[in-house]
Amino acid sequence: MEVGHCQKSAPTPTPLPPDKRLGYAVVGLGHLALEEVLPALSNCKKSRLVALVSGSPEKMKKVALQYGISSENCYTYQTFDQLKNNASVNIIYIILPNGLHKEYVIKGAKAGKHILCEKPMANTVEECREMIAACKQAQVKLMVAYRIQFQPHNRKLREYIQQKTFGIPKYIEACNAQSTANVNHWRHNKALAGGGALPDIGLYCLNTTRFILDMEPTEVFAYQYSTPGNPLFKEVEELVSWQMRFPSGIIANCATDYDVHESRRYRVNCQKGWMNLDKAYAYKGQKLTTARAEGTLELQQEVEIAENNQFGAEMDHFSDCILNNRRPFTPGEEGLQDHIIMEAIYLSAKLGKPVQIPPADAAKWRGPEPKIS
């Protein structure tokens, strides 16, 4: 028996008994669901998988067998509305193409279930508003799955900013880029995806910057570019590079691209030091580095923090909110605000001039800070 490695571990996790955990219906069995969400549910403390929804009967049958879901807990999009009769389902997790979010969030709300919706929340600001209204009317909770806000390295960096550990931040450099290749994927279809690199991956730069600064931008200026002739970018854009101006004078320079080697990071440049987070938006592997001076020495510090499962953390947070009747930390309004800014970014790139963002205050929509183990 091995006894090491214990000294810095978190307190022993104490999962709720299986029958006390809230039941999730997972809607959409794509890569994200199969490779991340379903395995994460197996190790959740307050959540468990109870139902599946898919348009592919064969795939669903296989997955159901693997995860021990009986056939009466398997639904198609035609039978989606019957979820309302399934008492074991507390939460519906929408993992569909962006263009379908609105329809199924509203349907789910009408079924009387709480809704966790993948990001981007929808295709347009208008859709977001409808979704929020529908959930409000149905008296169910709505949360957008901003997993980064439940990730320990990002949270630690935000804490450093709040505590002014490195003094006041002056500007931020953020980018989220990856290489895509499958022209038939729905992400290159404007109607289903709503846009290209910006809503899919650039959104992380936008949302995380707002999250760590606890501040809302007042103006954006953006360039947009797609390599001519590349069929991937026939409908949706390849590159968006934008600056955001914040009330305190901070500038954030952000970039996203669909034809660039994977690069998911940001750096916060402060008066007395900087913080850099590599793999900031990845599922794991975050690497937090900080720098500051001490006398004549320059100290560059790698801060090792135990990783968590971000999907598990956000699902358990939502279960916790429901169990305790609290607002989620990232409710629908959090997704709406990102769409307001993304529309301004697109408009700026189109007009070739800066675009203003209406004043907003996230404190008005956020629930209490999540406790992340």
Query: Crossing angle for the helix pair 101-110 and 125-138, nearest 10 degrees?
Result: 10
- CA-to-CA separations, 349 to 35, 41, 188, 202, 257, in angstroms, rounded: 35, 40, 19, 15, 15
CA 13, distance to chain mean position in Å, is 24
DSSP lists the bridge partners of residue 366 as none
145 or 321: whose CB is closer to its own copies?
A: 145
**Least CB distance from residue 151 to its own copies, whole Å?**
14
Which residue out of 119, 141, 146, 281 is catalytically annotated?
A: 119
Question: For its own copies, which residue of 129, 263, 343, 372 counts as binding (CB under 8 A)?
Answer: 263
* Footprint (CB under 8 A) of its own copies, residues 311-340: none
Residues 123, 144: Cα–Cα separation, whole Å: 14
* Footprint (CB under 8 A) of its own copies, residues 62-121: 62, 65-68, 95-98, 118-119
Which residue out of 24, 146, 160, 204 is catalytically annotated?
A: 204
Question: For its own copies, which residue of 85, 163, 181, 364 counts as binding (CB under 8 A)?
Answer: 181
Check binding of 261 to its own copies (CB under 8 A): yes
Check binding of 231 to its own copies (CB under 8 A): no
204 is annotated as an active-site residue: yes
- CA-to-CA separations, 251 to 135, 167, 242, 272, in angstroms, rounded: 35, 16, 10, 17
225 is annotated as an active-site residue: no
Check binding of 273 to its own copies (CB under 8 A): yes
283 or 326: whose CB is closer to its own copies?
A: 283
**Least CB distance from residue 364 to its own copies, whole Å?**
27
Alpha-carbon Rg for the chain, nearest whole angstrom, is 21
Asked if 220 and 355 count as a contact pair (C-beta separation under 8 A), the reply is: yes
Query: Crossing angle for the helix pair 203-213 and 332-351, nearest 10 degrees?
Result: 120
**Least CB distance from residue 33 to its own copies, whole Å?**
9
3-state secondary structure of 312: helix
Check binding of 9 to its own copies (CB under 8 A): yes
Check binding of 162 to its own copies (CB under 8 A): no
DSSP structural state of residue 370:
P
The set of catalytic residues is: 119, 204
